[in-house]
Amino acid sequence: MLLTLILLPIAAAFLILFSSKYIQYFLSVAVLASGSYYSILLFTSAENVSFYLSSFFNTVIIAADIVLLLYFLYQGKKYNSLKVIVLAAVQLLLFLYIEHVSAGHSAQVVVDGITKFTIEYDTSSGHSAEIAVDELSRFMFLIINIVGGIIVLYSVRYMEDETATPRKKQLFIAAMFLFLSVMNTLVCANSLMLFFFLFEMTTLASYLLIAFRNDEVSRTNALRALWMNQIGGVVILLGVLVAVLGFGTVMFDTLLQHSGGVLFLSVALLSMAALVKGASIPFDGWLLGAMVAPTPVSAMLHSATMVKIAPYLILKLAPALGATLLGGVLSITGGLVFVTASYLALSRFVFKEILGYSTVALLGLMMALAAIGTKESMMLAMVLMGFHALSKALLFLAAGVLEKQYHLKSIEEMSALVHRAPKTVGYILLGFVSLTLPPFGLFMGKLFAITSVASLLRERPLLLIVLVSMIIGSALLVLLYFKVSSALLSNPSDTLSAEEERIPYGFSLPLILLSVLIVGTGAGFIVIQHDALLALLALPLIFVFVLPWIMRGMERYDRTEPYHCGEKEPFDTALIYYEPTIRVKQMIYWSFTLLFAAVAVVGALS
């Protein structure tokens, strides 16, 4: 089953290059159906499996890694980006040094001419398998193959309206298929070196897909995404180097079985890579800039799947964190990212950027819960990951409909949109409701998370910062979603409803599938709770679905404000708005830069 999840998208990517539009739809549906089926089978099997890679495959991965880093060097030189060049060179040197050091079975660590200790290296011939499927991997398969598969299906229709050559459109869809394969392999990689290669492959995918339109804006943002994510690659290699020198291992499971020594430094460096990939402040710029890419890229890579590597990696490292000072610093960092990104989102007007900042915020919350390291907090982090993937995928795909059907990107242009596009607005409102109201998992997850963190305050008082951040950040996100909804549902007196909205089937089917999954999982949560009264909390769903049509029918009423002599009453979508000053922004980014560095310092001193 695992091989099917890895190989089937690769085969589909190859066939896409020689297929027509209808075959592309067929392949997309086939990959979605089979990927969902096997993911559910693996998830319900509760069986942990592992695979050893032969020396040939390990050699191929090493060669591919070197080629990838050389490609980054070439791109940096081609586009005159010093940051890309330097970071690619540093990665290449670190990678070659680690491979050289770990090539032998043992080595002596010498300091000032004195042999301090001898280490045995756990290479591919060691006892740990390079591929290991555990409970966390099986959970990630659900997100990658169900949500990711729906996004790929959507991208086939989206590409029809792109001004690109047929070959380039085929390459785009093929890249989306290949990304599914990379992610399926990454979440079951037990080898740190294999994980590094796949981590950089996601960086490559992000770089190429952001630059798809090949204009100056796209290229600039693609290069920013490249060098920022390369920082994550550098700290991964530094973490691997520490693991090799400290414990003689390049395997996750072997590393996490140790205690003391330089374990916390290695874990801290790996955790820093999660902060980068999750676009935590001060690295949020790469994800916000990535919103210039085609909408399926924003949905797949930068909201629903790729950025989930961040909480996934913290969950992977959680056994070494627990109630440690390092775990506390990571939790506080995630909590502060949650509240700060929610605050910064209020200053944005481009719809996809608003969704991007709210993604940064919620990723921070997921990482904060994962870093706490209790069984309950880790479970809640996974709940948030799953429900967030569904809701954000729905919102981004609806944003793509607005972009292609109505040429709208800014919420300032979306005033009274409910009268022109009630179906699309209904999907957007469902997405917002699923993020903020019961009985949906995100609301319940945040509610239970607040309770869980509050119960730990006596033992771990530093978590008070996380608790306050969760409360304030949640309130700010509700305010943010109200800001967008108020624009969509505005009802100026001179607005007339358009004809019935017709969404192409290639767009509507993925939106319907995601909506059904959101409602179905909400209903499932009610069943799990075994509480009939909780069913009453589902009533807001009825309101969400009928509200757009209620608003459409109001054009027959006089909506002129009283005592205004009939003049037009303007509606300002920026009623809830605050633009931080340059000084405030600088303080925010410098503070988080120091927090980022503090993770490594705490790891080194622990």
- Domain coordinates in residue numbering, the chain: 337-580
Which of 354, 429, 360, 422 has the alpha carbon at shortest distance from 391? 429
Cα-Cα-Cα-Cα torsion 471, 477, 478, 481, nearest 10 degrees, comes to 180
User: Quick one: average pLDDT of 220-231?
Assistant: 93
75 CB-near residues (< 8 Å, 6+ apart): 81, 84, 207, 223, 226
Report the run of H or E that residue 119 belongs to, with start and end.
strand 114-120
pLDDT digits (tens, 9 = 90+) for 309-324: 999 999 999 988 877 8
The three-class DSSP label of residue 49 is strand
Neighbours of 319 (CB within 10 A): 14
Q: Please, which pLDDT band fits residue 558 given cuts at 50, 70 and 90?
A: very low
User: Quick one: average pLDDT of 71-79?
Assistant: 94
Q: Say if CB 239 and CB 273 are below 8 A apart.
A: yes
Q: Please, which pLDDT band fits residue 528 given cuts at 50, 70 and 90?
A: low
pLDDT digits (tens, 9 = 90+) for 262-304: 888 999 999 999 999 988 988 888 888 888 888 899 888 877 7
Is the predicted pLDDT of residue 78 greater than 90, yes or no? yes
At position 406, the amino acid (one-letter code) is Y
Distance separating alpha carbons of residues 116 and 104, to the nearest angstrom? 18
pLDDT at residue number 557: 44
pLDDT digits (tens, 9 = 90+) for 442-463: 777 888 888 888 988 888 888 8
Cα-Cα-Cα-Cα torsion 183, 187, 190, 194, nearest 10 degrees, comes to 20
Q: Please, which pLDDT band fits residue 86 given cuts at 50, 70 and 90?
A: very high
> What phi and psi, each to the nearest 5 degrees, are found at residue 18?
-125, 25
Lowest mean pLDDT among 31-40, 414-423, 566-575: 566-575
Neighbours of 1 (CB within 10 A): 15
pLDDT digits (tens, 9 = 90+) for 560-595: 445 455 555 554 544 555 677 788 888 888 888 898
Counting DSSP H helices and E strands in the chain, the numbers are: 23, 4
Is the predicted pLDDT of residue 307 greater than 60, yes or no? yes
